Amino acid sequence: MDAKTGKLAWKTRLGDTNLGETITMAPLVVKDRVIVGNSGGELGVRGWIKALAVSDGHVLWTAYNTGPDADVKIGPDFKAFYPKDRGKDLGVSSWPPDQWKLGGSTVWGWISYDPELNLIYYGTGNPGVWNPDLRPGDNKWSCSIIARNPDDGSARWAYQIVAHDAWDYDEIMENVLVDMNFKGQPRKLLLHPGRSGFMYVLDRASGELLSAEKFQASTNWAQGFDLRTGTPAENADKRTKFGAVTRDICPSSTGAKEFVPSAFSPRTGLLYIPAHNTCMNYEGTEANYIAGTPYLGASVKMFPGPGGYQGELVAWDPAAGRQVWGVKDEKWPIYSGVLATAGDVVFFGTMDGTFKAVNARDGKELWSFKTGSGIVGSPMTFQGPDGKQYVAVYSGIGGWMGAVAFPAVSEDDPYAALGVVGAMQGIKKYSAPGGALYVFRRQ
């Protein structure tokens, strides 16, 4: 759109809704390119990321996240740090024949850009289908972080966080790029608070995993990560299987955090993570592909994790690899984005519609305001024409877990809505559907 007039400048169709392709992410403009990815991992689509010309919207390049190296744009400049991520055409050989064509691995979250290294960074979603026994192999490049040159889309490095995902642990979460000292050395870091419950710290120039610690203590699908190999030490009894119920897996498929973004403060050196403490029972089931329809193969029931609470705002020290403080939400997961300001104030919202401000250094509550609906949006701040600072947030419950608040979704079946009803029973008493923009002024 023309920002001054509101007139349409151009529009370009990128996906086929008949196949289940949609676009739910916010594009990122890098130089003269618009970078955007697709959604639809639960409908058997093939994940991609594209660059369009800002001027007229024509597609400059397309990079797939499954398939042969030519499609994934893996060439001579690709230098994966770990041997497990090296090899020819891994996007084909790590899948059963032709399953990579239905392999999900979509880019429906966030893209970051480092202008000095001239690299974009993004995470990829879960592999299709959810039942892992229907797709033996590592399933490259699902659940991965990938670095690419935005000029031509060529891959510089890739790190697969979880091979052969068995829990729907999309890793499309934000990649926060910071320059800071790490173990006594200045490093160009990438901070990735994973859906899997681990806080990943990587060297964003090389793709080396420097740290991987649990930011949600209930996480039990793995004990930790071997930094020499970049692989998790999985708990075998938490692997999901075809025809058997695996119980008490933490986190649930909604993750130890969802797509809503964390915030980093260079003043405190802390990352503020909107975390979840929700667990699940999971059974792999049969699935058949029909274009444009759900392609899942799982029966899931979710419930509050150990301790009974479901949400926590976690203040995390990435240099030390530990939690500094946390603010727990006894009822619901924290499903809003986070805002950290230079005044050492952190803003976030809750699913019952409370907008909160806490001290960035110790988490003590400074202020709160009850809005009309659950908050799943991201707060933002700006300076008005009067010179005053404003903070704004959108209130309007929704999203995967928030859908249970709508009248059309019954709370009778805990397996409904892919299992989130079991975790969100009672939300209708605390939050009604709605939509309003709230703007607050600093006095």
Quote the pLDDT of residue 214.
98
In what helix (H) or strand (E) does residue 365 lie, and over which residues does it extend?
A: strand 365-370
Residue ranges covered by each domain of the chain: 17-334
What CA–CA distance (Å, rounded) separates 436 from 418?
A: 28
pTM (two decimals): 0.97
Give the model's confidence band at 352: pLDDT under 50 very low, under 70 low, under 90 confident, else very high.
Answer: very high
Residues in CB range of 206: below 8 A, 6 or more apart: 79, 81, 157
Tally Cβ neighbours within 10 Å of residue 17.
11
- Reported as a single tens digit per residue, the pLDDT across 17-63 is 999 999 999 999 999 999 999 999 999 999 999 999 999 999 999 99
Largest interatomic CA distance in the chain = 63
pLDDT in tens, 232-281: 999 999 999 999 999 999 999 999 999 999 999 999 999 999 999 999 99
| pLDDT category of residue 99 using cuts at 50, 70 and 90 | very high
Q: Which of 226, 221, 222 is nearest to 210 (CA)?
A: 226
At a CB cut-off of 8 Å and minimum separation 6, what does 98 contact?
none
Tokens (6 digits) for 295? 């392609």
At residue 331, φ and ψ (nearest 5 deg) are -100, -50
Q: Starting from the edge strand earliest in sequence, which strands make up the sheet with 339-340, in order? A: 339-340, 345-349, 354-359, 365-370
Helix (H, G, I), strand (E, B) or coil at 423: helix
Is the Cβ–Cβ distance between 423 and 302 less than 8 Å? yes
pLDDT band (50, 70, 90) for residue 373: very high
Q: Is domain 17-334 annotated with CATH 3.40.50.2300?
A: no
- At 403 the pLDDT is 93
Residues present in the chain in total: 443
pLDDT in tens, 405-443: 999 999 999 999 999 999 999 999 999 999 999 999 987
Provide the pLDDT confidence category of residue 374 given band limits of 50, 70 and 90: very high
Mapped onto helix, strand or coil, the DSSP state of residue 233 is strand
**Which of 289, 278, 147 shows the shortest CA–CA distance to 216?**
278
What is the tens place of the pLDDT at every residue in 103-149? 999 999 999 999 999 999 999 999 999 999 999 999 999 999 999 99
Neighbours of 273 (CB within 10 A): 27
Q: What is the mean pLDDT of the chain?
A: 97
Enzyme catalytic residues: 42, 126, 168
Alpha-carbon distance values, 402 to 38, 121, 178, 376 (Å): 22, 28, 32, 8
3-state secondary structure of 401: helix
Written as one string, the DSSP assignment of 79-103 is --SSGGG-STTHHHHTSSTTGGGG-
Structure confidence at residue 443 (pLDDT): 78
Share of the chain above pLDDT 70, in %: 100
Mean pLDDT of 393-412: 94
